[in-house]
Amino acid sequence: MLVLGIDTSCDDTSASLVSFEDDRPDIVTNIVSSQSDIHDKYGGIVPELASRRHMEMIWPVVNEALGKNRIDDLGVIAVCYGPGLIGSLLVGTSFAKSMSLSTAIPFIGVNHLEGHLLSALLAEPAPGFPLLSMVVSGGHTSIYMVRGYGDYEELGKTRDDAAGEAYDKVSKLLGLGYPGGPVIDRLARTGNRKSIRFPRAMMKGTHDFSFSGLKTAVRLEVERNPALKPEDVAAAFQDAVVDVLVRKVRMAIEETGVKSVALSGGVAANSELRERMAEMCEKIGAEFYPPPVALCTDNGAMIALAGYHRFRMGQVSDLGLNPRAHLPIS
């Protein structure tokens, strides 16, 4: 079966064609049109500008994802309907509804987080269940226990800022632009992580996270000492974020006994996080499944995968489906 997956939840217009044979996904195309050029100068996403760019890009991106395949060959259209920016989500969901209405191909609304936490299953080798899946993005930082398709338990989540949000805010503070993750990741390689000791909020006794104190600590340190080298601040900040993420995953492995770990969301593209998570997993005999970077950041393939399995379970959406800015995983 061929599945078209569409994601316009935030600032990337993405569409992907995924073919399934015996439930194994094969990514045929995965097209992403980034908007960082228009948001960069504001140091963050401007929702109205994001929606406008989605409107311009949705057809070119879907058309490129379809390639030479005929729309009539699709088995189902999967579209992300939340959580995210409402204006951005409206473009993707309205587009998918129109496609479905004009072709009589069924469509299904997919939770963006479900896409992320399953994205490791798009890669080879794919993990089995149960799986500990950590989603670290600009909007979320959570650890889930995945027992099967549609069977998810959130073990812990951030109580304030998401890890990616902290990267973006620290980047803005240092005048490094948006998105902050990739630039801090690069800059940190040349800095001294031990030059400053930033706090690590471990939220003891829970699997929760907190990154707003770290962001404030970076701001105070930079205000106190303007001569600090940006690369040292970047390295010390990243060290604190990665430390917390790796230690919390280790605690979750030890507590649950589940030894398969997946990572996703934009921050999962971080080179130091991938390296140190792999080292930790090897040390304690766990298997680590980091998807390729293109599948960590927002993409249509993860939406196609989650949508395919929901469709297989007999679910479809109707034209009454509305996007939701806040949407818990069910």
Which residues here bind ligand KG4, judged by CB under 6 A? Answer: 10, 137-139, 164, 167-168, 179-182, 185, 265-267, 269-270, 297-298
Residue closer to ligand KG4, measured from CB, 3 or 183: 183
List beta partners, residue 111.
82
Report, in Å, the least distance between residue 294 CB and ligand KG4.
Answer: 11
271-293 burial code (b ≥16 CB/10 A, e <16): ebbbebbbebbeeeebebbbbee
Determine which residue in the list 298, 299, 303, 317 makes contact with Zn ion, applying CB under 5 A. Answer: 298
137 binds Zn ion (CB under 5 A): yes
Size of the site for Zn ion (CB under 5 A): 2
CB of 229 to ligand KG4, least distance (A): 19
Q: Which is nearer to ligand KG4, 82 or 138 (CB)?
A: 138
Please identify, using beta-carbon distances, which residue of 208 and 298 lies nearer to Zn ion. 298
Residues composing the chain: 330
Q: Where are the alpha helices (DSSP H) in 78-179?
A: 86-103, 112-118, 163-173
The residue among 10 and 62 lying less far from ligand KG4, judged by its C-beta, is 10
- Least separation, in Å, of the C-beta of 235 and ligand KG4? 13
Dist. CA 81–CA 100, nearest whole Å: 15
Q: Which is nearer to ligand KG4, 116 or 309 (CB)?
A: 116
Residue 267 contact, options Zn ion, ligand KG4, none, Cβ 5-8 Å cut-off depending on partner type: ligand KG4
From residue 13, give the alpha-carbon distance in Å to each of 22, 58, 190, 244, 288: 29, 6, 32, 31, 29
* 3 Cβ contact list (under 8 Å, min separation 6): 17, 18, 19, 20, 74, 75, 76, 77, 78, 304, 305, 307, 308, 311
Which positions lie near Zn ion, rule CB under 5 A? Answer: 137, 298
